[in-house]
């Protein structure tokens, strides 16, 4: 027998039977005028609405016919009846713009080529997860992450980044900023209330740590990376493989000095997979797994939109960080975690990373070769962006905006504004492959327009 | 031309060329012993590893052969070479158990039938999203949620729950507890530092609010729901459609009194879709959209594992709540948001809800009919659980555990322990359809074993 409840849409009309035909029509008109039944939306079938309201189907049919005649509804043979789009109250305008107007060209740093997102692999992996996952996975999840993903990450991080990872010490978060917030809170709960950042460093991460109650201080960076001898905080966040945004690598002697400094180290390995000139430098974490929190993300390798990141924790931080995670209330989707685990285990993730690495290396080479000689590129051949030093950030930004080019400057990344040097951060990974050359030409035109005159 | 980088897995060995054949073998042995190359994991192809390390492929082939001979690797024709599972260091044991031992039977309240998750619909919707979504959606997302989902929710909540929802006032969170945490923080930032909860209410939500800095107070509930006249806090969280856990509905006069009370109201509409005896009562929010935060979730209709929830905000709270959302660092997956939008717009979501509603109604009727006469069921015919009043919670829990039945009691839901009455919360939605009758029999046996003697 067909299930009478499964045939149509749920509606709420605020109407009860016994009030007669006119009144149901009134209720529907009000729903349309209020925007509860929105322009273009399908309305319930006559059968379902009659069932829900406990009235005869013929009544609903007549009311629908009346409302169609009045222009509220649009009926058409063989298709669901819909709310008409003409003559109804306009859709209330959002209290803020839905999206910022997009630039035509993007060189946004830290963003991978979104057009390369492995859509087919994601679809297929989702289908496999849906076919094979036991029902229990759809329930309330383990707060520290789905076991299948933690196991897959332990294997992946071990072989690709040299991380000593135990699934029981991994925490999966809803984005990298979530991981920073949770860590900051856990450190605070342990009495560690000051967090040092590299100067410069990603300003947003400092804001997140500060919002979680940490006092933020800066430690300068030179060509050998963080000036470790100047670290004087109980905890420090560092990008040893490829400094963000300057692109330098933490020198071997400083790696050793850092893990011996006594500070709790947060190793932000945001783009450790992308080194072009030689095999990657392994994670700092392997040198001192009880002093280093390893932090990684799928935002650079797959897509920021997945909001998936992970921490590998020293034993002493497991309980405090898991507690802070629970207190945050947020957890990443289990479905996405299972899909990522599937991609990691099948090798599709590695395949995607390698394809992107080849492409990004090619782009970086093309960019460096095309730059005018007087512009110096900083940092190693790695990652998703490079820095070009130049003085006139504001002029460059203004010119880029005129050309509809999305670009960032060093400015907001500095902590101590006295130390600041000017520069632009060129995210060469961001454009779609077909658009890269045109984007590069736009960048060069921007630089040519500004630099000779004003910097 | 085949891309030499896309043929295999990424590995980190901490080894450089020029150290000779023995040394590469040593490096791989160390990686296996350390657990960085884990038992059973595929190793890189000889071609890829040789390329990565900048050495001859023949060298890698010989080293692999040696290691296979030594029992470290397992080679087989036509399949990837893998780390052997015998003779390697045992996988480090997680510092905590991976999962709690599962009960055989579950009546966990608040949990939908996980076996009913619409796997095919989710797969198909994912495929459609992957086929049609523009590349930009994979980038850094709008912090308040993907526009497509906010628009779909505005339409859905309007027609199904009578909510006056504008996409610009909707915030999509990474689970219901995330929404509570963010709201609590925003209220605190506005100087509103005390949040009243129904007594009893979901203990976990109170913990989350307290962790975010709110002072939690309790307001008693009777057969007409929250005793509104006793609310004396600047903000109150309430479950008007179907009180959790007691199952009563907020009486019409109290609905009116509540929206006139001056308190900021958080309407937890966790299971508003599931009313069995009549058409649902519309959301409180429509009575006073500037005094009520409407809060909903996909956890009851689809699956908790999605970690998707939403708030519809009064204008005065939009900016503070969006700011608190950013500060939390966490955001839900954009991919899942797009898939949910697709399910809402295609009608698949409604269809699933209606199918579940029919099934849960049948189960509730069967449960109520099967209960011994001396046991009183409280609350309206709605939702995913009902309460049975009885005195001896501890004895029931112990007996249920003996029978491997997952059950909850009222105990921890009370705020003022002086007011507490005993009872069990029976989540009849939780079992798989085929297991419901056996689960019910286990419950009845548990009740028969305990109640006649000790309560």
Task: Inspect the interface and report whether the beta carbons of A135 and B160 lie closer than 8 Å.
Answer: no
Contacts of A137 in chain B (CB under 8 A): 114, 305
pLDDT category at B22 given cuts 50, 70, 90 is low
How far is Cα A411 from Cα B60, in angstroms, rounded to an integer?
A: 47
- pLDDT(A379) > 50: yes
- Check residue A339 and give its pLDDT: 98
Contact (CB, 8 A) for A257 and A287: no
Among A36, A297, A44, which residue's Cα sits nearest to residue A171? A297
pLDDT category at B26 given cuts 50, 70, 90 is confident
How far is Cα A64 from Cα A49, in angstroms, rounded to an integer?
A: 11
Q: List the single residue in B with minimal CA-CA distance to A118.
A: B130
Among B198, B199, B208, B110, which residue's Cα sits nearest to residue B407? B110
| List of residues 6+ apart from A326 with CB closer than 8 A | A143
Q: With a CB-CB cutoff of 8 Å, which residues 142-171 of chain A face chain B?
A: 142, 147, 154-155, 158-164, 166-169
Question: Using CB atoms, which residue from A14, A182, A334 is nearest to B282?
Answer: A14
Residue A348 at interface with chain B, using a CB cutoff of 8 Å: no
DSSP A278: S
**Cross-strand pairs, B55:** none
Contact (CB, 8 A) for B231 and B196: yes
pLDDT category at A90 given cuts 50, 70, 90 is very low
Among B100, B133, B118, which residue's Cα sits nearest to residue B305? B118
Mean of pLDDT over chain B: 88
**Cross-strand pairs, B216:** B195
**Residue A9 half-sphere exposure, CB side, CA atoms within 13 Å?**
24
Closest Cα in chain B, distance from residue A24 (Å): 14
User: If residue A408 lies in a helix (H) or strand (E), which one and from where to where?
Assistant: strand A408-409
Complete DSSP assignment for B83-150: E-SSSSPPPPPPSS-SSPPPPSEE--TT---GGG--HHHHHHHHHHHHHHS-GGGGSSPPTT--HHHH
Task: Inspect the interface and report whether the beta carbons of B36 and A334 lie closer than 8 Å.
Answer: no
pLDDT category at B87 given cuts 50, 70, 90 is very low
- Torsional class of B8: left (φ above 0), alpha (ψ -120 to 50), beta (otherwise): beta
Longest dimension (CA), chain A: 85
Give the burial string for A199-216 (b: 16+ CB within 10 Å, else e): bbbbebbbbbbebbebeb
Better-scored residue on pLDDT, A270 or A417: A270
- pLDDT(A408) > 80: yes
pTM above 0.80, yes or no: yes
Contact (CB, 8 A) for A448 and A115: no
Task: Inspect the interface and report whether the beta carbons of A123 and B119 lie closer than 8 Å.
Answer: no
Question: Using CB atoms, which residue from A10, A306, A347 is nearest to B335?
Answer: A306
- pLDDT(B378) > 90: no
Alpha-helical regions (H) of B203-286:
203-211, 252-259
Percent of chain B whose predicted confidence (pLDDT) is above 70: 91
Closest Cα in chain A, distance from residue B373 (Å): 31
**Cross-strand pairs, A304:** none
**Residue A188 half-sphere exposure, CB side, CA atoms within 13 Å?**
16
- The stretch B407-412 carries a mean pLDDT of 94
Q: With a CB-CB cutoff of 8 Å, which residues 188-207 of chain B face chain A?
A: 207
Domain definitions of chain B by residue range:
1-99, 105-111+351-454, 117-349
Q: B1-99 in CATH: which number?
A: 1.10.10.10
Look at A313-327, A355-369, B18-32, B377-391 and tell me which has the smallest mean pLDDT. B18-32
For B419-447, write each residue's pLDDT tens digit: 678 999 999 999 999 999 999 999 999 99
**Cross-strand pairs, B171:** B311
How far is Cα A320 from Cα B235, in angstroms, rounded to an integer?
A: 30
- pLDDT(A327) > 50: yes
**Cross-strand pairs, A267:** A238, A294
| List of residues 6+ apart from B362 with CB closer than 8 A | none
How far is Cα A89 from Cα A34, in angstroms, rounded to an integer?
A: 7
Tokens of B19: 């150290």
DSSP A92: P
Q: How remote is the C-alpha of A119 from its chain's centroid?
A: 16
DSSP B17: T
Phi, then psi, of A378 in degrees rounded to 5: -110, 150
- The stretch B250-278 carries a mean pLDDT of 92
Residue A269 at interface with chain B, using a CB cutoff of 8 Å: no
Contacts of A300 in chain B (CB under 8 A): none
Task: Inspect the interface and report whether the beta carbons of B305 and A158 lie closer than 8 Å.
Answer: no
Q: B105-111+351-454 in CATH: which number?
A: 3.90.1150.10
Mean of pLDDT over chain A: 88
Contacts of B304 in chain A (CB under 8 A): 138-141
Contact (CB, 8 A) for A51 and A45: no
- pLDDT(B453) > 60: no
- pLDDT(B11) > 60: yes
- The stretch B161-174 carries a mean pLDDT of 95
Number of Cβ within 10 Å of residue A417's Cβ equals 8
- Check residue A12 and give its pLDDT: 73
Q: How far apart are the first and last CA of chain B?
A: 78
DSSP A345: H
Contact (CB, 8 A) for A361 and A369: no
Fold (topology level) of B117-349:
3.40.640
Contact (CB, 8 A) for B207 and B177: no
How far is Cα B27 from Cα B368, in angstroms, rounded to an integer?
A: 66
Q: Could you check whether the bond before residue B245 is cis, i.e. omega within 30 degrees of 0?
A: yes
Phi, then psi, of B441 in degrees rounded to 5: -60, -40
Look at A19-23, B43-47, B199-203, B358-362 and tell me which has the smallest mean pLDDT. A19-23
Q: List the single residue in B with minimal CA-CA distance to A137.
A: B305
């Amino acid at each position: 027998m067909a299930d009478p409840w499964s045939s149509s849409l749920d509606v709420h009309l605020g109407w009860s039977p016994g009030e007669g035909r006119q009144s149901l029509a009134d209720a529907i008109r009000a729903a349309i005028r209020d925007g509860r039944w929105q322009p273009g939306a399908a309305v319930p079938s006559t059968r379902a609405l009659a069932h829900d309201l406990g009235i005869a189907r013929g009544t609903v049919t007549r009311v629908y016919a009346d409302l169609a005649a009045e222009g509220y509804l649009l009926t058409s043979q063989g298709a669901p009846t819909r709310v008409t789009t003409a003559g109804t109250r306009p859709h209330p305008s959002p209290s803020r713009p839905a999206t910022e107007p997009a630039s035509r060209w993007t060189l946004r740093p830290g963003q991978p080529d979104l057009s390369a997102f492995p859509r087919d692999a994601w679809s297929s992996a989702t289908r496999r997860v849906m076919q094979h996952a036991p029902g229990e996975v759809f329930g309330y999840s383990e707060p520290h992450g789905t076991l299948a993903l933690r196991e897959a990450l332990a294997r992946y991080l071990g072989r690709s980044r040299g991380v000593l990872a135990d699934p029981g010490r991994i925490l999966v978060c809803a984005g990298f900023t979530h991981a920073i917030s949770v860590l900051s809170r856990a450190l605070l709960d342990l009495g560690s209330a000051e967090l040092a950042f590299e100067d410069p460093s990603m300003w947003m991460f400092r804001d997140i740590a500060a919002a979680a109650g940490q006092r933020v201080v800066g430690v300068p960076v030179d060509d050998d990376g963080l000036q470790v001898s100047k670290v004087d905080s109980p905890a420090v966040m560092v990008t040893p493989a490829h400094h963000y945004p300057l692109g330098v690598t933490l020198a071997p002697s400083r790696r050793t000095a850092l893990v011996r400094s006594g500070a709790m180290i947060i190793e932000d390995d945001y783009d450790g997979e992308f080194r072009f000139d030689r095999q990657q430098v392994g994670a700092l974490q392997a040198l001192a797994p009880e002093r280093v929190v390893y932090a990684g993300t799928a935002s650079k390798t797959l897509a920021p939109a997945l909001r998936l990141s992970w921490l590998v924790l020293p034993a002493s931080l497991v309980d405090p960080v898991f507690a802070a995670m629970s207190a945050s209330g947020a957890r990443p989707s289990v479905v996405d975690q299972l899909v990522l685990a599937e991609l990691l285990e099948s090798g599709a993730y590695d395949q995607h990373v390698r394809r992107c690495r080849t492409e990004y290396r090619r782009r970086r080479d093309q960019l460096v070769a095309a730059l005018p000689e007087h512009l110096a590129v900083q940092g190693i051949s790695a990652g998703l962006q490079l820095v070009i030093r130049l003085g006139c950030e504001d002029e460059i930004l203004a010119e880029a905006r005129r050309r509809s080019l999305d670009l960032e400057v060093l400015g907001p990344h500095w902590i101590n504004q006295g130390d600041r040097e000017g520069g632009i951060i060129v995210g060469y990974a961001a454009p779609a492959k077909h658009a890269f050359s045109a984007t590069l030409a736009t960048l060069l035109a921007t630089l040519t327009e500004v630099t000779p005159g004003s910097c």
